[in-house]
Structure 1
Amino acid sequence: MGRIVVIGAGLGAMATAARLAVAGHAVTVYERSSTYGGAVGRFERDGFAFDTGPGLLHLPAVYRDLFVKTGKKPLEECVGLSQVDPAARHVFADGTRVDLPNASRAGTLAALDAALGAGAGERWGDFLVRAREAWDRTRRPLLEEPQPADPKRLAQEPYPALKAGLLRRPTRRLAQVGERELRDPRLIALLGSYAEAYGFPASSAPASAAVLPYMEQTFGSWYVAGGIRALADAVYERCRERRVEFVFDTAVTEVVEKDGRAVGVGLETDETVDADHVVSGIPVPALYVDQLVDWGGSEDWAPHQVLGTSRVTVHLALRGAREEGVAHRTVVHAEDGRPTVTVLRPDDPALRPDAEHEAVTVTATVPTHPARDWQEYAGLMVEAAGRAVPGLAGRELWRHVRTPDDVRADTGTAEVPGPALGGAVALLPAANVSPVPGLYFAGGWSHPGGGLAHAGMSGALVAGLIVEGADFRGSR
């Protein structure tokens, strides 16, 4: 079997490494920082602990499959995994609140009727029927198969046209879906929040972004005990069990090519490491900008899906016990100049010093440009979060603000990638097979895109492409 070098130790890169090691390859991971996980980090202070990346897991089947394929212990024996119910509480600008149950369509429609008025649930249910059609059309080509050599065939909008009498009106943008089909401004805000959480503004996102609420409301939201960082710990340990070698605090400075093919990497120590295949798990734009690869002036490659969005995260250490009836996740919609924020309040003893304190994380999606006073912006975020956390201002012990600059320091780029969406080639991530033979892309910046589940899928795709070669038709 071959020698594999993996650049970076993010979730997608480690998922690739574990699968390749099981296939008999000798795998070495080089990571420029002192730890693994990439965007899935952890911040600790005074007995409080916080995830610095995603706080919830969707499509856990991706990681169940990884653990089944790479060892004897299933995922649930390696991490504590529980459904979040309600999946989310939404607080709208007019003060209306609704709790959406986890993975229950009937429960969701009933909750919307009760909170927003009769007929709201029916409109949302009709929308989900069309969203499912888009999901069925894109699931294989966008999630389970390698990106086609000509991705233009994915540019056809998969969201079905809305019938209007004898006419069928094509729907191109997610905002049009809301205006034409949902009509209620609160339902429109609900729809937009799913896309905006991934960095897609509803005004410009393709209608196919309808698959995002469908996916979450169908397959559910899950919490990992100890935080999502515990999932990174488990994947790292699985890699170690499969004898993947990790070299930390060592940056790769070059992908070495010979006769037009990647044959190894150069390290910051001036050492060259030979390889039969190289897998890059770092952001593809960073790989390009830092010129780790000689693209030879080729125009066949471009950093797809440049969203121009990042995250601001505020970690709040609070005095006082978490009250009864708290939703794990609350989305507070924008109002009075304050941004839409997601407030995470996990009931997890591992994240707080004792039962008389609480660790709360507040996040907002922001443009990477222009830069602004992030501390001032964090203040607006905390004001918004006060609608989800009673007495927040009087409970705050301290806050820690993570800005797009921190995202860049952790991952190599300030942008946070979104999942692949049909209907717009510009929103497709880079293909897993790079323009340079022998070099592959894994992780959130490559097909099928950003998010924990999608990064894990990229690992399955890259491993399949290396192990099975041109015959690989996709994961099952």
Structure 2
Amino acid sequence: MARIAVIGAGMGAMAAAARLAVAGHQVAVYERGATYGGALGRFERDGFGFDTGPGLLHLPAVYRDLFLKTGKEPLESRIALAQVDPASRHVFADGTAVSLPNASRAGVLSALDEALGEGAGERWSALVNRARDAWDATRRPLLEEPLWRDWRVLGRDPYPAVRRRGLFGRGKGPTTATLDDIARRELADPRLIALLESHALAHGLDPRGAPASAAVLPYMEQTFGSWYPRGGMRALAEAVYERCRERRVAFAFGAEVTGIVVRDGRAAGVELADGRGAEAEFVVAGLDPARLPALLKGSDPYGPEDVRPRALSGGCAAGRLTVCLALRGARPAQTVHRTVVHAADRAAELAAVFGDGGARGLPERPTVTVLRPDDPTSRPDDGHEAVTLSAAVPVPCGADTAAVEAAADRMTEAAEAAVPGLRERVLWREVLPPADEAWIPAPALAGQGGRFLRPGNRTRIPGLYAVGGRAHPGGGPAHAGMSGAIVAGLIVNGDDWRGSS
């Protein structure tokens, strides 16, 4: 039995902690904040409740596996998890709207043909089929296995629209196709382009620079479905936390780690802000790998040949501006859970968020995601409704409170396309801008020379591992959960472990 210190109580860190505890290790989690769950936060006031991070779960098999492997019971024994159907409704700039069924390829094709014209569904379906090829080629190395030491092969885009020889086009050099390139070439219709690129934007990605393989994002959603837990995504965080506690993982909150102890070239524990120390044979860092050198007193845990941590610089990171709306009046029957109201001027939105020519700012008319869960736990009674709006904004988005409130006004106005009469129903609102370093970590993607990969879970310091959305295999609840599974596999089975079978 080894002592293991885990830094942070995010979803990846807790997933690792639960698996390591079941393997017989003594696990202690040190979290500088007051609670657990990382990005899966919740804002509550006057009987209303709102998710403040991701609002839906994709790839629920990740957490089903976690609960089976750490307790031989289904995830659904802990949370009420239901498919959202329709998966989403999209309102485009020209006023056209389409509702897409959950996890139904044929249904999506039919819905797009009916709403956008004959042939629209077939064009979308053809692109998703190519995305499936990219998914099949990269699922294991980008989701189930430790980052390959020869990671550069993943810098070649597996999206098959540009024909390359071999699995990743070995010997042909990296492709440079972007998501925007394939959208314009293969979809043509600006509404289909907006549909595709909204998936990238929701993950903080600029479609003009993201690799063509980012088409796997709508593929995953359309294939594996969209799921919502009663109580919001925070309920999933609570369930994982309770599983850790049941497996005797120790948690210390308000415990900031200020240093990682290295002894004889190996991680040997952590130092805390209050002067205490904790000895450990392994340290699992559930934080941005870019912070590791400071905790290691200047030592770099990654070599020059490794995937480097992404520094928040250069004006290219997107965060999430969230507006929580408490509404008077009942949620109407047949209300769609998630509606995406697309921006009228796509180019202007991308320029504002990602800084074309250095001119970054809050977009005048952003793409707004409107969440209206049919969840009694989100409202004080059935005569009220909780609605959450979110939009991609630059990080940092500035300290000008008036500008942020004005952006929230514009988001609320846009959301009336999803909630008629919205502004007249508002009892109160809470505007939650992203913290200065709270950029949205996207899932790792192949292509573009490896720029969209995340630092490996193994570091150059024996006994020190990185976990969570900013390490391999990237961001989002499911990917964070897989990050935890990979780190636990490396510690339990050794650094030569190649991943789940």
2:310 pairs with 1:304: yes
Amino acid at match of 2:229: V
Distance in 2 (CA, whole Å) between partners of 1:254 and 1:268 is 9
Q: What's the CA shift for 1:171?
A: 6.4
User: Does the CA-based 8 Å contact 1:86-1:327 persist in structure 2?
Assistant: yes
Pairs within 5 Å for 1:241-280: 241-280=246-285
2:385 pairs with 1:358: yes
Pairs within 5 Å for 1:374-413: 374-405=404-435, 413=437
Q: Which residue of 2 aligns with 1:416?
A: 440
Q: Which residue of 2 aligns with 1:320?
A: 329
SS at match of 1:471: coil
In structure 2, the CA distance between the partners of 1:399 and 1:370, relative to structure 1 (3 Å rule), is closer
Q: Which residue of 1 aligns with 2:468?
A: 443
**What is the CA deviation profile of residues 291-318 of structure 1, one whole-angstrom value per residue up to 9, with x for unaligned ones?**
1123436753631385511110000000
Amino acid at match of 2:376: P
Distance in 2 (CA, whole Å) between partners of 1:239 and 1:414 is 26
Q: What's the CA shift for 1:170?
A: 6.1
Amino acid at match of 1:13: A
Distance in 1 (CA, whole Å) between partners of 2:458 and 2:383 is 51
Distance in 2 (CA, whole Å) between partners of 1:170 and 1:228 is 37
Pairs within 5 Å for 1:127-142: 127-142=127-142
Distance in 1 (CA, whole Å) between partners of 2:21 and 2:339 is 40
Q: Which residue of 2 aligns with 1:74?
A: 74
Pairs within 5 Å for 1:53-452: 53-162=53-162, 172-288=177-293, 291-296=294-299, 300=304, 302-304=308-310, 308-335=317-344, 337-369=364-396, 371=398, 373-405=403-435, 413-424=437-448, 425-452=450-477
Distance in 2 (CA, whole Å) between partners of 1:170 and 1:429 is 19
Q: What's the CA shift for 1:102?
A: 0.1
Q: 2:494 aligns with which of 461, 469, 473?
A: 469
User: Does the CA-based 8 Å contact 1:331-1:343 persist in structure 2?
Assistant: yes
Distance in 1 (CA, whole Å) between partners of 2:252 and 2:279 is 15
SS at match of 1:29: strand
Distance in 2 (CA, whole Å) between partners of 1:121 and 1:263 is 56
Q: What's the CA shift for 1:149?
A: 1.6
Q: What's the CA shift for 1:161?
A: 2.8
Q: What's the CA shift for 1:186?
A: 0.3
User: Does the CA-based 8 Å contact 2:3-2:27 persist in structure 1?
Assistant: yes
User: Does the CA-based 8 Å contact 2:396-2:434 persist in structure 1?
Assistant: no
Which has the higher mean CA deviation after the structures are superposed, 106-115 or 429-438? 429-438
User: Does the CA-based 8 Å contact 2:144-2:500 persist in structure 1?
Assistant: yes
Q: What's the CA shift for 1:427?
A: 1.1
5+ long unaligned stretches in structure 1 = none
**What is the CA deviation profile of residues 266-299 of structure 1, one whole-angstrom value per residue up to 9, with x for unaligned ones?**
01121111000000112223444xx112343675
> TM-score, normalized by length of structure 1?
0.94
User: Does the CA-based 8 Å contact 1:344-1:361 persist in structure 2?
Assistant: yes
Distance in 1 (CA, whole Å) between partners of 2:290 and 2:96 is 41
Distance in 1 (CA, whole Å) between partners of 2:5 and 2:331 is 46
Q: What's the CA shift for 1:370?
A: 5.6
SS at match of 1:427: coil
Distance in 2 (CA, whole Å) between partners of 1:473 and 1:207 is 27
**What is the CA deviation profile of residues 37-58 of structure 1, one whole-angstrom value per residue up to 9, with x for unaligned ones?**
1111111101101111111000
Q: Which residue of 1 aligns with 2:348?
A: none
Amino acid at match of 1:214: Y
User: Does the CA-based 8 Å contact 1:159-1:171 persist in structure 2?
Assistant: no
Distance in 2 (CA, whole Å) between partners of 1:354 and 1:146 is 47
Q: What's the CA shift for 1:8?
A: 0.5
**What is the CA deviation profile of residues 326-374 of structure 1, one whole-angstrom value per residue up to 9, with x for unaligned ones?**
1100000002641001000001010101101000000111121463621
Amino acid at match of 1:280: A
User: Does the CA-based 8 Å contact 1:54-1:228 persist in structure 2?
Assistant: yes
User: Does the CA-based 8 Å contact 2:30-2:257 persist in structure 1?
Assistant: yes
Which has the higher mean CA deviation after the structures are superposed, 430-439 or 131-140? 430-439
**What is the CA deviation profile of residues 117-168 of structure 1, one whole-angstrom value per residue up to 9, with x for unaligned ones?**
00001111111111111111110111111001232111011101357xxxx9
Aligned residues: 464
Q: What's the CA shift for 1:111?
A: 0.1
User: Does the CA-based 8 Å contact 1:6-1:30 persist in structure 2?
Assistant: yes
Distance in 2 (CA, whole Å) between partners of 1:148 and 1:105 is 32
2:11 pairs with 1:15: no
> TM-score, normalized by length of structure 2?
0.90
**What is the CA deviation profile of residues 160-206 of structure 1, one whole-angstrom value per residue up to 9, with x for unaligned ones?**
1357xxxx996610011111110001000000001110011111111
Distance in 2 (CA, whole Å) between partners of 1:225 and 1:325 is 18
Distance in 2 (CA, whole Å) between partners of 1:100 and 1:285 is 39
Q: Which residue of 1 aligns with 2:361?
A: none
Q: What's the CA shift for 1:471?
A: 3.1
Q: Which residue of 2 aligns with 1:453?
A: 478
Amino acid at match of 1:457: M
In structure 2, the CA distance between the partners of 1:170 and 1:257, relative to structure 1 (3 Å rule), is closer
Q: Which residue of 2 aligns with 1:37?
A: 37
Q: Which residue of 1 aligns with 2:353?
A: none
User: Does the CA-based 8 Å contact 1:305-1:429 persist in structure 2?
Assistant: no
SS at match of 1:389: coil
In angstroms, what is the RMSD of aligned CA positions? 1.7
Distance in 1 (CA, whole Å) between partners of 2:290 and 2:371 is 30
SS at match of 2:228: strand
Distance in 2 (CA, whole Å) between partners of 1:88 and 1:268 is 45
Distance in 1 (CA, whole Å) between partners of 2:110 and 2:470 is 38
SS at match of 1:50: strand
Amino acid at match of 2:299: G
